[in-house]
Amino acid sequence: MRPINCIIEEVRSEAPLIRTFWLDRNLDPAPGQYVMVWIRGVDEIPMSFSGPDTITVQSVGEASAALFSLGRGSSVGLRGPLGNGFILRGKRILLMGGGVGAAPLAFLGEQAKGAGMRVASLLGFRSKEDLIFRDRFEALGDTIITTDDGSLGIPGRAAAGLKELDLFDYDQIYLCGPEMMMWDIISRTREHAKKTQACINRYFKCAAGICGSCCLDPEGVRVCVEGPVLMADRLAESEFGRYRRGPTGGKGPCRG
Amino acid sequence: MPSLFIHAGGLHLNNPVLLAAGILGTTGASLCRAARAGAGGVVTKSVGSVPREGHPGPNVVHVECGLLNAMGLPNPSYKDFQDEIDTARAGGVPVIASIFGSFAAEFAQIARSLKADAFELNLSCPHAEKYGSELGRYPDLVESVTGAVKAAANVPVWVKLTPNTADILELGLAAQRGGADAIVAINTLKAMAIDIETGYPILGNRFGGLSGPAIKPVAVRCVYELAGRLEIPVIGVGGVSSWEDAVEMIMAGASAVQVGTALLRGYGIFEEITTGLSRYLERKSLTLEELCGLARRRRS
């Protein structure tokens, strides 16, 4: 599949470094799936869907900065939707995560609610200014917010909100956020790992399962095609939260 | 079931279906997974002497007849790769380290420093400046690089050739003169794709290498030409996606085959090909040795 040409219909700023881009077509993604976005002449980067026809992007490098320079009417090339997204299970679900990782969770929560499930959320952000999609989450059900600087909700990391919840109340738990946040939550909720789906991030090059740049130790899971959503019990036994490979394939620290 | 065990290019292989270089070869774990899925041997991602991040994306484009890629030789350098090879060896099959450099002494330095079951010299990547086919299209450079690595290494040395040349046989003969233990043919064909909406070349590097079904007939022809003249074994690679393709490649004269792009279908491809090959040999009452080069003996 060659990249599909796609026009950006609208751009909205969600937080200082986060924007949502409305695409001119619905690629029928599952929440948690991603799309390779080709900013022509610059690079191609994986992005998560925040809705059936939206991607929500945090500016972190050259390629996302180039995407931020594009406005309404600009075009990008798209390959996707790709990978395995979240699978809805049970009647009561909990969404946990934060930062730009809230994007696929909001999308997932809306699908879940539409299917008659009960949805609760625990979301962590650096500060009040970084909060995204508050209205979307609050429309879904009970929402607990934490901020690192205490400017809103419970002060501290997302895990600080865990004491407000009884995880046995939920049939399935969905995680998406910075790696160390997810690792922290997974480590503290090990007995729930078998019912926790986590959407993770690795360095993708081919996004087709053949180049090997995103493979997760020690099993060699090809995150770009077998993920990016993986069960937390599998992650608990992996490199996740300990190290990650960068563009050269060499190991480096996990960030965020 | 007939035995698929072979001795080729200085290695004992449980079966002649290997993982090709550049495919799922960045980490020891993914190489190990290929071995456990039934590969007879695994070739690593090419490693050089300094870390490289590779080309900007897109790195891969699916075209009508195959796959185009321009990864750009991303690698952490040989200094940070021995661990991956050691992990890969837990898979229980030979691990062949693919290495690249821009001159003979650079190749030799890497070969001296890495411990692997064999080396495969990347003299054929079609899309990295100063590397791969930029050296590998000159027979004298192929010979001198091969000679330098042979002198530096105490394991078999395989030389992977580029088809982007008028006469691949000349390159094969040069590698043989340099002391190569086997030839691996072929690497990808230099190619490109253009986005007709905007006119942009799709690959970040503009040019890349074409692999997959489109190049199999080219690979079969190259293997046929090489195997007919060389005394060293030829390992066939290029578009092998089924056991039938493997049979065809072996009939052309390949002692073993490597599989790359077909891994798009997943790790199951190794068992699919070895099982099919085994059944074929049984049905035809042939051994692997008898199958090798059969097409050459059918010439009228």
Q: Write the pLDDT tens digit of every residue in A113-138.
A: 999 999 999 999 999 999 999 999 99
Relative to beta strand B41-43, strand B95-99 is parallel
Which chain B residues touch A6 with a CB distance below 8 Å? none
Give the pLDDT band (50/70/90) at residue B2: confident
Give the pLDDT band (50/70/90) at residue B300: low
pLDDT score at A224: 98
Question: How many beta-carbon contacts under 8 Å exist across A and B?
Answer: 131
pLDDT score at B30: 97
The answer to whether the CB atoms of A213 and B260 lie below 8 A apart is no
Mean pLDDT of B167-171: 97
The answer to whether the CB atoms of A40 and B200 lie below 8 A apart is yes
Instruction: State the pTM of this model.
Output: 0.96
Which chain B residues touch A223 with a CB distance below 8 Å? none
The string of pLDDT tens digits covering residues B49-76 is 999 999 999 999 999 999 999 999 999 9
Catalogue all structural domains in chain B, each as residue range(s) with its CATH number: 6-297 (3.20.20.70)
Q: How far apart are CA B229 and CA B223, in angstroms?
A: 10
Q: Where are the alpha helices (DSSP H) in chain B?
A: 28-36, 82-89, 104-113, 133-136, 139-152, 168-177, 216-229, 243-251, 269-284, 288-291, 294-297
pLDDT score at A254: 87
pLDDT score at B23: 98
Q: How many CB atoms lie within 10 A of CB A192?
A: 18
Which chain A residues touch B25 with a CB distance below 8 Å? 212
Relative to beta strand A251-252, strand A244-245 is antiparallel
The answer to whether the CB atoms of A211 and B57 lie below 8 A apart is no
A35 touches chain B (CB under 8 A): no
The string of pLDDT tens digits covering residues A197-206 is 999 999 999 9
Domain A92-252 has CATH 3.40.50.80: yes
The answer to whether the CB atoms of B26 and A245 lie below 8 A apart is yes
Mean pLDDT of B103-113: 97
Q: Which amino acid is at A40?
A: R
Mean pLDDT of B233-256: 98
The string of pLDDT tens digits covering residues B130-161 is 999 999 999 999 999 999 999 999 999 999 99
B26 touches chain A (CB under 8 A): yes
Q: What is the set of active-site residues of B?
A: 125
Q: Which of residues 247-276 of B touch A (CB under 8 A)?
A: 260-261, 263-264, 266
The string of pLDDT tens digits covering residues B177-208 is 999 999 999 999 999 999 999 999 999 999 99
Mutate to test the interface with A, among B23, B24, B85 (most CBs of A within 10 A): B24
The answer to whether the CB atoms of B58 and A75 lie below 8 A apart is no
Chain mean pLDDT for chain B: 97
User: Is the pLDDT at A256 greater than 70, yes or no?
Assistant: no
The string of pLDDT tens digits covering residues A224-243 is 999 999 999 999 999 999 99
Mean pLDDT of A80-84: 97
Q: Which of A170, A159, A49, A160 is nearest to A106 (CA)?
A: A49
- Domain limits, chain A: 4-82, 92-252
Q: Quick one: what percent of chain A has pLDDT higher than 70?
A: 100
User: Is the pLDDT at A255 greater than 80, yes or no?
Assistant: no
Distance from CA of B153 to the nearest CA of A (A): 25
In angstroms, how far is the first alpha carbon of chain A from the final one? 33
Point out the residue among B31, B61, B264 whose CB comes nearest to the CB of A209.
B264
Q: How far apart are CA A210 and CA B140, in angstroms?
A: 33
pLDDT score at A87: 98
User: Is the pLDDT at A86 greater than 60, yes or no?
Assistant: yes
Mean pLDDT of A90-109: 97
User: Is the pLDDT at B299 greater than 80, yes or no?
Assistant: no
Point out the residue among B30, B61, B63 whose CB comes nearest to the CB of A212.
B30
Strand partners, A125: A147
The answer to whether the CB atoms of A219 and B261 lie below 8 A apart is no
CATH of domain A4-82: 2.40.30.10
Q: Which of A77, A76, A83 is nearest to A2 (CA)?
A: A77
User: Is the pLDDT at A245 greater than 90, yes or no?
Assistant: yes
Q: Which amino acid is at A213?
A: S
The answer to whether the CB atoms of B29 and A216 lie below 8 A apart is yes
User: Is the pLDDT at A85 greater than 80, yes or no?
Assistant: yes
Give the pLDDT band (50/70/90) at residue A1: confident
